[in-house]
Amino acid sequence: MRKQKIQFMLILAAGFFAAGINRENAMAQDREQGRSMVISREGIVASESPLASQAGAQVLERGGNAVDAAIAAHAVMTVVAPMWNGIGGDLFAIVYDAKSGKYYGLNASGWAPAGQSLERLRAKGLREMPMHGIEPVTVPGAVDGWQKLLDRFGKKKMNEVLAPAIQIAEDGYPVTEWIALHFDANVNLLRASEAAARTYLIEGRAPRLGEIVRNPDLAWSLRQIAQGGRDAFYRGEITKRILALSAREGGTLAAADFSDYSSEWAEPISTTYRGWTVYEMPPNLQGIGALEMLNLMERFDLPSYGLNSPRTLHVQIEAKKLAYADVLRYIGDPKMSRIPVSGLLSKQYAAERAKLINMDRANCEVGPGVPVPSAGDTTYLSVVDREGNMVSFIESNYAEFGSGLVADGTGFVLHDRGALFSLDPGSPNAIAGRKRPLHTIIPAFMEKDKIRIAFGIMGGWNQAQAHAQFVSHIVDFNQNIQAAMETARFTKPTFAGCDVLLESRVAGNVKAELEARGHQITMHHGFSDAFGGGQAVMRDYATGVNYGASDPRKDGAAIPELIVKSWMR
């Protein structure tokens, strides 16, 4: 007996020793990311709020598909992050339908009121679009977008996908870290409107971290939509309340602007980048800027330069300037402007534009090119389901809390997307009635062989440049989707000049080397929301395995669907 005990102890000690070696080896495996990817054979929802991701995952568990889950998650986001998005805003989505093997784009951006015009605004003394108030309010497209997506792809009804959001709006939710900061930053804007202050503030102050916030008015609006579909928003009591607000504020919104509105299906545009195909939505969005950046970056050997090296960052920053100059010059509503899409995406055009990138010196005065003519704030989420359907989904108020205006009893702000219009009559983006403005928000996909990734990174004009960096991190530097989302980024929120923001997590003496080239660098520490926040899901169609990633620059999470087997019930 004693001999057996000694043998057992020796075996146990050997096991601990081996485990120690394995543990030491594991500790030696350094990695660039702070958290692991979520990996599952079932569906995954990645959003900026764990509550929203959980709501979407539960819809998947109850037999819904990726589209159903995306709308459920987004509806919750409109409750818990009202500064960034809401049913008073616009949305865009790209859906990958596994059965047909095709991509479908939805443009649910609203148009300016028929009574709005450049002449009217200039007669009021305006020389540029205001950011707040009634003038930048366009017809919100989000709710019509929900309906179009459900009617074409959904398995659930509107009342089923909105149920979690309604419950959270009624019962309340605890304010998270980022949300508390952004509530506090917008107190003065909200105080300027009695209805906005009543909806979002608590005794005139911002809700605090961990404090429970309820929005019974938003629950009422969501319930109207759950029962009456999109018509409840565009032809019902919600419409009347919005029109009453517009009339009081001296706006031009009319009933026909809402009843005539319809979102539109659009074919995604694409380019190739070192063997991958990257998809974006076509104009009136800035996604073409991300594709043009990639075409320019492809002319340089970034893998040999190194991840976030001075040479790599220099090329990416210069490519951003060139691409964005074209976006500003050419992009508007394609129904009212001739936009040289194929010319801007031409590899030959990229080759000519790339010659303007001087590897030794930053260009501070970049202008648009001449392509061959063709014939804030935001929330982003992505979903993949167990059948391989995928959704890349983005929605926004534009500025935080949009126009700052809330129609009495509705519980949501009207967005200010019209602030992106130009008052220059020569611009393709000049404001006009029933015209859609240039949009900053963009959903995206990338694919190669049996791998497909739905991704997006929000943050106003940050988005196209962040998309290009995310793609480069994966393609050029072999990062997984979580590492690519976390890696330090640059952003240049302006069009002119050499100013650039850079996260301090870049290695080495990058700041000094970029400044030696003429870049004017402002460093941000840690994970700064100045660089946007993103989400991504990926599917390996060869194995049927799904992956999820969530950006630490937000409060969110990628949450997998839980399948409860019969023996566990």
Q: Which residues are catalytic?
A: 378
First to last CA, the chain: 44
Find, among 194, 93, 48, 133, the residue nearest to 401 by Cα: 133
In order of 68, 193, 301, 398, the CA distances from 248 in angstroms are 37, 12, 58, 23
- Residue 404: CB partners within 8 Å, gap ≥ 6? 132, 133, 189, 190, 192, 193, 196, 413, 416
Count other Cβ atoms within 10 Å, centred on residue 111.
23
Which residues face 202 on adjacent strands?
A: 205
- Residue 45: CB partners within 8 Å, gap ≥ 6? 52, 53, 54, 56, 57, 60, 69, 70, 73, 381, 382, 383, 537, 548, 558, 559, 561
Q: What is the distance of C-alpha 222 from the center of its chain?
A: 22
What gap in Å lies between CA 459 and CA 462, rounded to an integer?
Answer: 5
The answer to whether the CB of 395 falls within 8 A of the CB of 442 is no
Name the pairing type of β-strands 545-550 and 269-273.
unpaired
Structure tokens of 305? Answer: 């330069």
Find, among 167, 165, 174, the residue nearest to 207 by Cα: 174
What gap in Å lies between CA 362 and CA 216, rounded to an integer?
Answer: 52
Q: What are phi and psi of 557, to 5 degrees?
A: -160, 150
User: In what order do the strands lie in the sheet containing 520-524?
Assistant: 490-491, 499-503, 520-524
Collapsing DSSP to helix, strand or coil, 490 comes out as strand
